[in-house]
Amino acid sequence: MTAVTDTTRNGVDTGKMFATLDLIKEQPELAEFQFRATNRWIAGAHNRSTIQGFYAAGGEDTSRTGAFELDAGEPAILLGTDTGPNPAEYLLHALAACLTTSIVYVAAARKVKLTSVESTLTGDMDVRGALGVDEKPRNGFERIDASFRVTGNAPEEQLREVVERARKRSAVYDMVTNGVPVAMEVTTH
Amino acid sequence: MTAVTDTTRNGVDTGKMFATLDLIKEQPELAEFQFRATNRWIAGAHNRSTIQGFYAAGGEDTSRTGAFELDAGEPAILLGTDTGPNPAEYLLHALAACLTTSIVYVAAARKVKLTSVESTLTGDMDVRGALGVDEKPRNGFERIDASFRVTGNAPEEQLREVVERARKRSAVYDMVTNGVPVAMEVTTH
């Protein structure tokens, strides 16, 4: 017997979502993923990352038919020519995108239909740190403020619970707030 | 008297760079910057950030004539339709881009002409954390490995010093390794 039901909510196939969760509970080794970016300097503040392959669920995932290309740059005041957002802005985007997707997925799992998710993130930086002018200010943002507006067919309290659960599960929120060990290897020929 | 010299190295105007550093040393209040991203959910794992304005050097910077738009997504195995790199991949790109630009700027300041900067970054993630299947694995990457190849007209030792100085000054490296406080505000109407 096959039960045919429309399990898609917020654009997320919740049937497939719960099947994936069940599978990973049964076979935790399938949960090992590796994501990658390859970057190449072009000129000045202009460099480009290529993103395509990744490892997932026990093998190399080859489902992406093409590569994503991301151009980074700096505005004139930071000696660039605006060839793309700057790296710190990309970090804000990564955080906004991860929190948003987490909100959408958690809502889908909880049968909450969302009508909108909008956010503005700001990061305050004393650039004396990154420019090496003063040892006191840190290089990165001193703080990030994220302002979210989330609407949907649920009472305010439930919408807030969705956001809170999403925050607790977001991969990039975890990394940006808690940090990640980075190992760097360099060759010069 | 005007000394006309070509101060551009690695695509970076070092004359302007040193003038900027001198100005910020004299007027540290000019070092307060704020970067921003505004994000909007589209459907499922698809959301888009818009990046344009920022605050810099005592006022709103309006030099960018257009906005950058960045689309995020997830691959099929994470319930998306590949509308863009995923948020964790964007974080790898932010880190690669920041380290690369830092290397290029430090090299320019030290009169090192670079011929290439290439890097591959990988992030290992046990997705049981982000999927909420298991409390033990963290949500984000357990570790990031960054492999850089840097070539230029300087001995290996000097190239390695450039990379080391760049690592110590990179805004995104600081944020990704040490974390940043994030304040989140939510409205639901």
Pairing of strands A68-72, A46-51: antiparallel
Q: Structure tokens of A124?
A: 């305050």
> Rounded to a whole number, what is the distance in Å from the CA of B1 to chain A's nearest CA?
25
B98 pLDDT exceeds 80? yes
Q: Which residues pair with A148 in a beta bridge?
A: A119, B186
Q: Point out the residue among A28, A41, A127 whose CB comes nearest to the CB of B117.
A: A41
**3-class SS at A184?**
strand
Per-residue pLDDT band at A3 (split at 50, 70, 90) = low
CB-based contact A111:A141 (threshold 8 Å): no
CB-based contact B162:B150 (threshold 8 Å): yes
For residue A149, how many C-alpha atoms fall within 13 Å in the half-sphere facing its CB? Answer: 9
pLDDT value of position B3? 52
pLDDT value of position A36? 98
Q: Point out the residue among A32, A122, A179 whose CB comes nearest to the CB of B178.
A: A179
Q: Do B33 and A124 touch (CB under 8 A)?
A: yes
pLDDT value of position B6? 78
pLDDT value of position A67? 98
Q: Fill in the amino acid letter for A161.
A: E
Q: Do B24 and A97 touch (CB under 8 A)?
A: no
Residues 6+ apart with CB under 8 A from B121: A36, A37, A38, A39, B92, B95, B96, B144, B145, B146, B147
ipTM of the complex: 0.97
Angle separating helix axes B156-169 and B87-109, nearest 10 degrees: 120
The 10 Å CB-count burial string (b at 16+, else e) for B4-24 is: eeeeebbbbbbeebeebeeeb
CB-based contact B84:B96 (threshold 8 Å): no
pLDDT value of position A6? 78
Question: For the segment A122-143, what is each residue's pLDDT rounded down to a tens digit?
Answer: 999 999 999 999 989 999 999 9
Q: Which chain B residue has the Cα nearest residue A55? A: B124
pTM: predicted TM-score of the whole model, two decimal places = 0.97
CB < 8 Å to A27, chain B: none
Question: For the segment B112-164, what is each residue's pLDDT rounded down to a tens digit?
Answer: 999 999 999 999 999 999 999 998 999 999 999 999 999 999 999 999 999 99
**How far are the Cα atoms of A158, A165, B131, B143 from residue B138, in angstroms, in the given order?**
25, 14, 10, 11
d(CA B91, CA B139): 14
pLDDT value of position A33? 98
Q: Which chain A residue has the Cα nearest residue B37? A: A121
Which residues 132-161 on chain B approach chain A with CB closer than 8 angstroms? Answer: 132-134, 137-151, 156, 159-160
